[in-house]
A = this chain, B = another copy of it.
Amino acid sequence: MANNNSATSKAQLRLASLSAQLDTTAPRDSVTEILETSLPPVHLHADALSVLLDGKDQTWRKWMFEQLKHPLFEYQYNVTKEELVTRNQERTRHLAKLGFRPTWTEPKVNIDRNKFIQIQDALSYFDNGLSTMHGAHFGLYSGSIRELGSEALQNKWLPLADSFEVPGCFALTELGHGSNPRGIETEAHWDVKEGCYIINTPNTTAQKYWIGAAAETAFMSVVWAQLYIPHPTDPSHPPSHKGIHAFLIPIRDLSTRSPSPGVTIRNCGSKSGLNGVDNGRLWFDHVKVPRHMCLDKYGGVNEQGVYESFFGDNNDQRYGLTRRQFGAKQVGELETLIMDYKLHQRRLYPLLAQTYAQHFAARAIARLRDTEKSDLKLLKQFHVISSGLKSLHTWHLLDTLQATREACGGQGLKSSNRIGQMKADCDVMATYEGDNQVMLITVAKGCINDYKPTRIPTLANFTSQHFSDSTLLSPKFQLDLFQHHIHASAHRLHAAIDLSRAQAKAQGTPNIGLDNILDTHSALSQEFARAVLEHWILSEFIAQETLSAATTTSATGTSPLTLMRQLHALWKLDMDQNMIRRRYLDEPVQERIRNLVGGLLHRVHENITPLVDAFGVPDHLLGPIAHDWVQANVADSEDI
């Protein structure tokens, strides 16, 4: 087969390059293959496969890969964002000279969109900051002029854009309106007397935000605003709203680089990624924009001072841009608080419940550490459970940080909001002191002989019953089911081990090691390990709940620990892949559990702030996102 020899030696190099990353010490033998089916071999022509993946033509992608060998494209690490941006400006200028532009200045029919995409594709392998700077300028900025601007504007500005002599940016997003173009608040009012548009930022949330290349690089900006046309005869009549329109506005002086009159420019600050592009913030203080600088191909004020639209009065259909909006929002209407969305509650509150569960598990394992462990069984329990908790806790930490980051949108990426930095700093935990995946296998190895097949109860205990809500919410039911899950998964793992040993014996290699077998059945091993750990966590949580109920004066209603324990356990029953897979409960019971989760989320929502604040993280260690994020983004705040 073509390329197979060279592929093999390359493969060996590649595989060798990974060999010291995991703690993998068990000797291997051929019986690890015993479970494999007799699938036909694979018929692989490497070159033909490349052609298939490439599709019709990837000439420009490959060409750009070659260009990236130029010394300007040596990787830089450990540099400031200003250094990265300066270097990416140099790179973009260099690229502009290479003459591969998607011919913005040529007749439209010649534009090769596929070429542009290939270029962007190749650049993104190198540095997403560079591909963003390149795409914002040559795609969004230049493309807007080309698609929406008059011929005069195109003739003047596109050559300056093609050469990157006059970098531009694309100002749509606002602080208060991330992905909802129709909701933007920046205003453009036609001034009949002056014969120009007046562009204005009415408030802090209307500032243009995350504008790629606006902070340092761009001189021009395509600015999107809500257009208002005054009544032709009656000045007391409210102006007519024409929807969003784009305007070409100089934001910096070409020689001095200082912001144009009425324009305020700030940096979005340090981010947890993409620091290779300078995201900026823009304010417009009644900036006058000449009539011809409106990108008015589909609508604008004509030479007679009358508004004309390609779409007639149906301005809401105006651009494909608006297709990403998610509701029939009117300008000025109050948006819903995000935390009132069930979707948002579902993505965050179960993680909080799990944090409670794992918090008490951490306390319990610390107590076990401090206990005199003369009992060997206790010592073993400590070693096994602490190894396993290391995996579950660090993954939970990373999952929670990621969910939080996404729930905060772009604000979650700002260094000052700390989530991105925490993610980056905590990432190591998933592999240090042992790879998390491997740790779970060691837990399985350490525990499997404690659970003999004979001790497994029958499934019928659960599947045939229809439980009441109060049963489903009870500690006893939840703990019983978690316990049953241990026994059932131990049973399956034992069966797999026995099968592997029997097969090995039949193949004349009876000395197959347990490490080897557990690796072969890694999914079953990890399922069993998780079952042991989740049961341990839940039982410690319930112990703490019982203890606190006994020591505090009880009142009517559910205690917060009970609420968190109920949500934690039912969420696992609803969402844990292995629990679902094993079908311990009838489908109507599973449905009921999901509905109960919905009710519990509602109860959490009613109490969310004290439930979070109880962890006692002081205000000075929280980012602006946890406080007044609008105030943190006013124009006269410091760049952060």
Contact = CB atoms under 8 A, between A and B. Distances in A.
B620 A20 contact: no
A427 B323 CA distance: 23
A535 B354 CA distance: 33
A340 interface: yes
Complex A-B, nearest 5 residue pairs according to Cβ-Cβ distance, in ascending order:
A25-B327, A273-B424, A21-B409, A43-B557, A11-B609
Interface string A407-426: 11111110110101111111
A387 interface: yes
Given A52-B548, A556-B43, A607-B44, A272 B13 contact: no
A239 interface: no
Contacts of A69: 620
Contact of A52 (B38, B561, B583): B561
Given A46-B614, A626-B17, A24 B435 contact: no
A365 B626 CA distance: 39
Contacts of A22: 178, 338, 341, 344, 407, 409
Contact of A557 (B40, B128, B338, B615): B40
Contact of A580 (B11, B336, B581): B581
A341 B273 contact: no
A288 to B, nearest CB: 29
Contacts of A341: 22, 24, 519
Contact of A621 (B18, B126, B410): B126
Interface stretch (A93-101, A159-167, A476-484, A592-600): A592-600
A425 B65 contact: no
A170 to B, nearest CB: 13
A20 B594 contact: no
19 contacts: A15-B338, A17-B628, A19-B337, A21-B407, A23-B180, A27-B327, A43-B557, A49-B614, A52-B614, A77-B415, A78-B415, A117-B366, A125-B621, A126-B621, A272-B424, A327-B513, A343-B522, A406-B431, A577-B577
Contacts of A434: 179, 324, 326
Interface string A387-421: 10000000000100010011111111101101011
A18 B567 CA distance: 23
B272 A427 contact: yes
Interface string A68-101: 1100000101111110000000000000000000
A442 interface: yes
Nearest to A205: B20
Contacts of A347: 437
Highest count of chain B CB atoms <10 Å: which of A38, A125, A366, A617: A125
Contacts of A610: 3-4, 7, 44, 46, 49
Highest count of chain B CB atoms <10 Å: which of A20, A340, A359, A603: A20
A283 B405 CA distance: 40
A624 B426 CA distance: 23
